[in-house]
Amino acid sequence: MGNFKLWIGFGLLVLSGCSAINGPAKTKVTTEFHFLENSNNALVVFSQVSKKSINRIYLRPLPLNKLSLYTEFEPNRWVAAEIEQDGYQGKLVVLMLPAGEYEIYQWQRQELSGYLANIPWGARFKLEPKGVMYLGRFVIDGELNKSTLKVEDQSTSDLAQFKTQVPRLAESNPTLNLLPSPPSNPVQDKGGF
């Protein structure tokens, strides 16, 4: 019996090491944030919005390694969202990441009823040390088994909000790098719980 418990413990340890998703990512930097002189980090800025669905954006560094993060927004009718526009709710995402190349490899839409759609994307971007890059507003929509993600240029409002949240970088000149939207036709999802 003792050996059995040892093997179960070892198996769980091995399986926990195989996990590829470290997220959810910390999406807030403090109002006092600034880059240190020898920093190799950068900030990536985007917003994610949806109508009445939980949405997640998954990203990872390239070349591939174990690190994988996701950001999440869950609508809450009792708490005002950071972004509210035309029936959509969402938030501004500001991530501090090491400089390098990254890929948003998947996005996800989950209905409050439990329906879940995982859709591959494959949009890449490269961060420079001490850089600030704006990727766009990710508008996630769908009903039943069809999901869409559209990237919009909302840099004026998103970057104004960024400069309010991170005033020490208000004078920075973010690079605009709007990612291409996935195919415009709605994706048929298999969904599930």
CATH of residue 73: 2.60.40.3540
Residue 60 lies in a domain: yes
The segment with the largest mean pLDDT, out of 33-42, 112-121, 151-160, is 151-160
Residue 64 lies in a domain: yes
Report the number of distinct structural domains present in the chain. Answer: 1
Residue 48 lies in a domain: yes
User: 40 is in which domain, residue-wise?
Assistant: 21-188
Location of structure tokens 């998103």 = 158
β-bridge pairing 175-176 and 132-143: parallel
Q: Dihedrals φ, ψ of 16, to 5°?
A: -65, -30
Run of H or E including 5: helix 2-17
Q: Tell me the pLDDT band of 119, cut-offs 50, 70 and 90.
A: confident
Q: Does residue 110 contact residue 52 with C-beta atoms inside 8 Å?
A: no
Mean pLDDT of the chain: 79
Residue 42 lies in a domain: yes
Residue 15 lies in a domain: no
Give the residue-averaged pLDDT of 99-121: 85
For the stretch 75-84, pLDDT in tens is: 776 677 888 8
Q: Check pLDDT > 80 for residue 185.
A: no
Residue 193 lies in a domain: no
Residue 158 lies in a domain: yes
Q: Check pLDDT > 50 for residue 120.
A: yes
In a 3-state reduction of DSSP, which class is residue 189?
coil
For the stretch 125-184, pLDDT in tens is: 999 999 999 999 999 988 766 788 999 999 999 999 999 999 988 888 999 999 998 865
What is the per-residue burial (b if ≥16 Cβ within 10 Å, else e) of 55-84? bbbbbbbeeeeeebbbbbbebeeeeebebe
pLDDT at position 136, please?
97
Residue 117 lies in a domain: yes
